[in-house]
Amino acid sequence: MTNNLSPWQAALQQFQIAADKLGLEKDLRARYATTKRELTVHFPVRMDDGSLRVFTGYRVQHDTSRGPAKGGIRYAPDVTLDEVKALAMWMTWKCAVVDIPFGGGKGGVICDPTKMSLGEIERLTRRYASEIADWVGADGDIPAPDVGTNAQIMAWFVDTISVHHGRLERALVTGKPVLTGGSRGRVDATGRGVSICVAQAAKFLGMDLNGARAVVQGFGNVGSWSAHHLAKLGAKIIAVSDVSGALVNRNGIDIHALMEYASKNKNRIEGFREADRLDKEEILEVECDVLVPAAVENQIRADNAPRIKPKILAEGANGPTAPDADPILQANGVFLIPDVLANTGGVTVSYFEWVQGLQGFYWTEADVNARLTDVMVNAFDVVSATAQKHHVDMRVAANMVAIDRVVQTHKLRGLYP
Ligand code: GLU
């Protein structure tokens, strides 16, 4: 059994399966089965009690054939280089699936932002930004938010590097607040993208989303906005969870009220009264029509996959399903929308933000949303056509589309020297 694969091993396995289907040459496989660059930094931060603490951070670039490395920065206690490498590889495939001109990168700092003051987080961010400053740039490597980071952190990031460079670097980081050159529609873009994919899948399956029962694991940026947009499509959100616990209400949870509640409760859902409590380990097994894992990696594995049977499984998180769970889900007739397609709404609007920043010309929210819908519907259709043509599931199909685009670009550019 492959139950205990690390994220990087899981990403590699998914890559090899799609590479096999594409008949990709051995030499080229070796190139993509490794990263391009990995940077590890150790740096001190002054804590509020006057002490110095040394933190470790990473920035990894997996591939830059199609454009600058693109990908978020994660602040979490369990960040590892292995995980950041996997997340960077998934970013390469994501950008290629939606056909935006970026490669893949990712960053992370080992820290627990829930146990740090705002001042400590600001100092950590500014120092980490300085440490990786040589790698970052609008044409080289463009960070964004991820688990444990947000628009405010991106504003500090831009400010720090702009001060170093002596000019405002508008396109250096995405996911910034709108007031500092961010894009309208970026905050909810990943969740909106999840819902666009779910709507396309429902159409494909001839399923009515009105009244469909949806379950969302994770209530951070991706989970909460996915729930919000699915509810707007008519789905009934019957269960949600986060690190603090899980809630269930078969009549549907009022997502707007829960978002308000969480924002006043340290971003935690525990204690919300208009739902019953549920063991958070059970969330993925709640019977439903649409399931959105929107937390972290390795949640759906061979041991629990036999009990996870939604009609549609849309991966809001990166890497929530272990490779050994995929055949089980497929045998159970679950329609999978893989992470490299389902959660690309965020990076797609990051691309729009980068374009707007370079031009200094900002779009309306309606424009952003309409363009996002176009990009995602098109990507969904290309991936589902590939799945049908090659008789593979949507993950293999999405990876085939992505790898093929990256490899074609690589071949056109050639090898130098
Ligand atoms: N961290 C997000 C992701 O995993 C967004 C990346 C970006 O916008 O660059 O897709």
Catalytic, 236? Answer no
Q: How many CB atoms lie within 10 A of CB 170?
A: 20
- Judge if the beta carbon of residue 105 lies within 6 A of ligand 1: no
Which residue segment(s) compose the domain that 250 sits in? 189-342
- Is 62 contained in some domain? yes
- Is 7 contained in some domain? no
337-370 exposure pattern, b = at least 16 Cβ within 10 A, e = fewer: bbbbbbbbbbbbbbbbbbbbbeeeebbeeeebbe
**Are both 73 and 165 inside the same structural domain?**
yes
Residues 6+ apart with CB under 8 A from 25: none
**Are both 136 and 267 inside the same structural domain?**
no
Q: Is 298 helix (H, G, I), strand (E, B) or coil?
A: coil
Of 148, 175, 202, the domain-final residue: 175
Of 342, 373, 401, the domain-final residue: 342
**Are both 227 and 280 inside the same structural domain?**
yes
**Are both 170 and 230 inside the same structural domain?**
no
- Is 99 contained in some domain? yes
**Are both 37 and 161 inside the same structural domain?**
yes
How close is the Cα of 317 to the center of ligand 1, in Å? 10
Q: CATH code at 299? A: 3.40.50.720
- Judge if the beta carbon of residue 146 lies within 6 A of ligand 1: yes
- Judge if the beta carbon of residue 106 lies within 6 A of ligand 1: no
- Is 277 contained in some domain? yes
pLDDT tens over the chain, length 417 residues:
445 899 999 999 999 999 999 999 999 999 999 999 999 999 999 999 999 999 999 999 999 999 999 999 999 999 999 999 999 999 999 999 999 999 999 999 999 999 999 999 999 999 999 999 999 999 999 999 999 999 999 999 999 999 999 999 999 999 999 999 999 999 999 999 999 999 999 999 999 999 999 999 999 999 999 999 999 999 999 999 999 999 999 999 999 999 999 999 999 999 999 999 999 999 999 999 999 999 999 999 999 999 999 999 999 999 999 999 999 999 999 999 999 999 999 999 999 999 999 999 999 999 999 999 999 999 999 999 999 999 999 999 999 999 999 999 999 999 999
Among 95, 100, 190, 296, name the best residue to mutate to test ligand 1's pocket (greatest count of ligand atoms within 8 A of Cβ): 190
**Are both 104 and 209 inside the same structural domain?**
no
**Are both 151 and 58 inside the same structural domain?**
yes
Single out the residue of 350, 291, 352, 363 nearest to residue 106, CA to CA. 350
**Are both 210 and 78 inside the same structural domain?**
no
- Is 363 contained in some domain? no
Helices (H), 310-344: 326-331, 339-342
Distance CA 40, CA 60 (A): 9
- Is 399 contained in some domain? no
**Are both 202 and 324 inside the same structural domain?**
yes
Q: CATH code at 85? A: 3.40.50.10860
- Is 12 contained in some domain? no
How close is the Cα of 316 to the center of ligand 1, in Å? 11
**Are both 155 and 231 inside the same structural domain?**
no
Number of domains, the chain: 2
pTM exceeds 0.75, yes or no: yes
